[in-house]
Amino acid sequence: MKKVPYERLVRLTEGILTKGFGYNASEAAVTAEVLAEADARGIPSHGVARLAFYRNNLNGGFAKPGAEPEVVRRTPCSLVVDGRGGVGCYVADWSVSQTVELAETTGTAFCAVRNSNHYGIAGWWAERIARHDMIGLAFTNTDPAGVPTHGRRRLLGTNPIAVAIPEADGRIFLLDMATTTVAHGKIELYDRRQKTMPSGWVVDEHGREASDATAFEKLFHSMAFGGHLYLGGEGEECGGHKGFGLALMVELLCSGLSMGLSSMKVYQPGGEGGITHFFGAMKLDLFGPAAELKRHIGEILGDVRRSEKIEGRDRIYIHGEKEAEARERSMREGVELDQATVDFLSALSREFQVNEEGLL
């Protein structure tokens, strides 16, 4: 493992995106920040290693640097945005800014986005909204990854859900989760590190649980059968149908309301990426004075934090705390990257003649 100063990691990533991928300055800046933030928060599945995926999208013609999103429908409290095949992080940044601006006026706003691309960690966008004393929602579909309950074919994406709610002292409750047991980037991470996956993550083309990450990656990219299990696992006994239902809900909010492509139809040869998103912003003062609400929310979460722990555990983590604390460490000590990611960045920096002295 290697620790890299955060700002250097951002600058190197920006350089690769501009010199190597053809992103403009605005697209590169927001994309580099989102990817570096994921690594800084201890989410390497969505960190700078995703540059490989973004490069494949460019080579496949799915992402179009320079494309500007546009509002195709507007009401006093809602927007529908066409990303026009643009860079996903840039489209999301633009759409979230529009949503927050509308919510500042109306109290609440919702935005459905079509024709976009991968936008990084969903929690980043929900948190962005929450920083304005709002409840933030951020959902997205992805390329097909999960098998429905009782099904064999991959139909829906990992379809993450992110909800951010401000509390006292600048803290934010941040639930950011895939509706599958894990995000696909985590399986890619296990493949890179040659680690065995836990049972319950995926099934093979016959519907049998699989643990070999490398073998699963080959299957995943060679056929439409086999895939991720949704929260609750196989069948209905442990609630697998509930996780599948959450994925469907995300799909309908993102693709249904935007009139965009479903997970089953994104990244088709000759087309655009077609990824869809959904954002929501609700001002806290719709429900009372924001400061009082944040204090009360903090008291509720404090009761959870102080409750009795099981033997061997001295803490109950509220969602988002681990990532926030990892980020604080990264800012002090540097962002931790595994050797495979360092080697990957080194290769890209050599290829595109981009480097930060002392980084790699």
pLDDT of 320 higher than 70: yes
> In the chain, what are the domains?
1-59+336-360 (1.10.1530.10), 67-181+236-306 (3.30.1370.60), 190-228 (no CATH)
Mean pLDDT computed over 183-199: 88
Q: Measured between alpha carbons, how far is 331 from 325 in angstroms, rounded to an integer?
A: 10
pLDDT of 72 higher than 80: yes
Q: For 115-129, 180-194, 275-289, which range has the lowest pLDDT when averaged over its residues?
A: 180-194
Mean pLDDT computed over 220-233: 94
The distance from CA 154 to its chain's CA centroid, rounded to whole angstroms, is 19
pLDDT (0 to 100) of residue 323 = 98
pLDDT of 61 higher than 80: yes
Q: Is the dihedral of CA 253, 256, 260, 266 positive or negative?
A: positive
- Return the higher-pLDDT residue of 355 and 250: 250
pLDDT of 214 higher than 90: yes
pLDDT of 359 higher than 80: no
pLDDT 10s digits, 17-40: 999 999 999 999 999 999 999 999
pLDDT (0 to 100) of residue 186 = 85
pLDDT of 193 higher than 90: no
DSSP 217: H
pLDDT (0 to 100) of residue 356 = 62
pLDDT (0 to 100) of residue 197 = 94
The percent of residues in the chain predicted with pLDDT above 90, rounded, is: 90
pLDDT (0 to 100) of residue 238 = 87
Contact 176, 160 (CB under 8 A): yes
Mean pLDDT computed over 124-137: 98
Q: Measured between alpha carbons, how far is 88 from 32 in angstroms, rounded to an integer?
A: 12
User: Inter-axis angle of helices 25-40 and 122-130, to 10 degrees?
Assistant: 100
Mean pLDDT of the residues in the chain: 95
pLDDT of 225 higher than 80: yes
Q: Measured between alpha carbons, how far is 360 from 352 in angstroms, rounded to an integer?
A: 14
